[in-house]
Amino acid sequence: MKITFVTSNTGKLKEVKDKLEPLGIEVVGDKVYYPEIQTDSLREVARYGAQWLKNRLEAPFILDDSGLFLSALEGFPGVYSAYAYGTIGNRGILNLMNKKGDKRAEFRTAAALVDPNEKIHIFEGVCKGSVIGEERGKNGFGYDPVFIPEGYEITFGEMSTEEKNKISHRSLAFHEVYEYIKEHFSVEFDIS
Ligand code: ITT
């Protein structure tokens, strides 16, 4: 089957394609605009975007809202991750974290799936780790060069998409999306 993934981020699209296509789901990127509301919950941002797009885009489709949550900064940049990345960038995050002893960080993704009946389902994924004191690696995108996942010594920026997809927040959330599609789509919507 084929599903639309609404994102303007080519890095996300590559990860989701690499995740779902070997499982038999063709992923087509669409950069159509949707509003991202200001709230403290990624789920609500994703749900609102999906709700807004429902009347404008043919279902089924998926979108994801993600962020990096830093313990020492009470979860900042979190839901403001896109804004923070676009303004202060990784350099700014490193400066803010420079004197902090607590380096714990986690990436979170909330993926919204709009099914063929236009019902919205939210799936979440979390990847725990820490932020390092410098940028390392040229792979991935966004905050990847400053984040080391738990149990590893290299950053997401030093991993291939395949390696990142074994453990990432996005991969976990989209695994749930896959499980949902596998279980419900062929039976309820006659799509396989
Ligand atoms: P779309 O909303 O169009 O999908 P975006 O890049 O704006 O693309 P988000 O709002 O979900 O996506 O992302 C918030 C910020 O967090 C943004 O700057 C991303 O680059 C960054 N980000 C999201 N997922 C990431 C990941 O897996 N690795 C590194 N940075 C990530």
pLDDT of 188: 77
> What is the CA(25)–ligand 1 centre distance, in A?
22
Atom 22 (ligand 1): residue with closest C-alpha? 142
pLDDT tens per residue, range 41-92 = 999 999 999 999 999 999 999 999 999 999 999 999 999 999 999 999 999 9
153 phi, psi to nearest 5 deg:
-120, 0
Residue 189 inside a domain? The answer is no
> Does residue 72 sit within a domain?
yes
Provide the domain count of the chain: 1
Whether the full predicted model's pTM is greater than 0.95, yes or no, is yes
List own/partner pairs for 45-50 with CB under 8 A and 24 or more apart.
45/79, 45/110, 46/110, 46/111, 46/112, 46/122, 47/112, 47/120, 47/122, 49/6, 49/112, 50/112, 50/113, 50/114, 50/120
- CB of 66 within 6 A of ligand 1: the answer is yes
Average pLDDT over residues 172-184: 97
- pLDDT attached to residue 167: 98
Instruction: Catalytic residue, from 18, 30, 40, 65: name it.
Output: 65
With respect to residue 142, please indicate whether it lies within any of the assigned structural domains.
yes
Whether 120 is covered by a domain: the verdict is: yes
Query: 62 in a domain, yes or no?
Result: yes
Q: For ligand 1, say whether the CB of 95 is within 6 Å of any of its atoms.
A: no
The confidence score (pLDDT) of residue 35 equals 97
Domain that holds residue 138: 2-184
Q: What is the CATH number of the domain that holds 154?
A: 3.90.950.10
Given the structure tokens 């709700």, which residue do they identify?
Answer: 51
Q: If you average pLDDT over every residue of the chain, what do you get? A: 96
The DSSP secondary structure of 70-92, one letter per residue, reads EGGGTT-BGGGHHHHHHHTHHHH
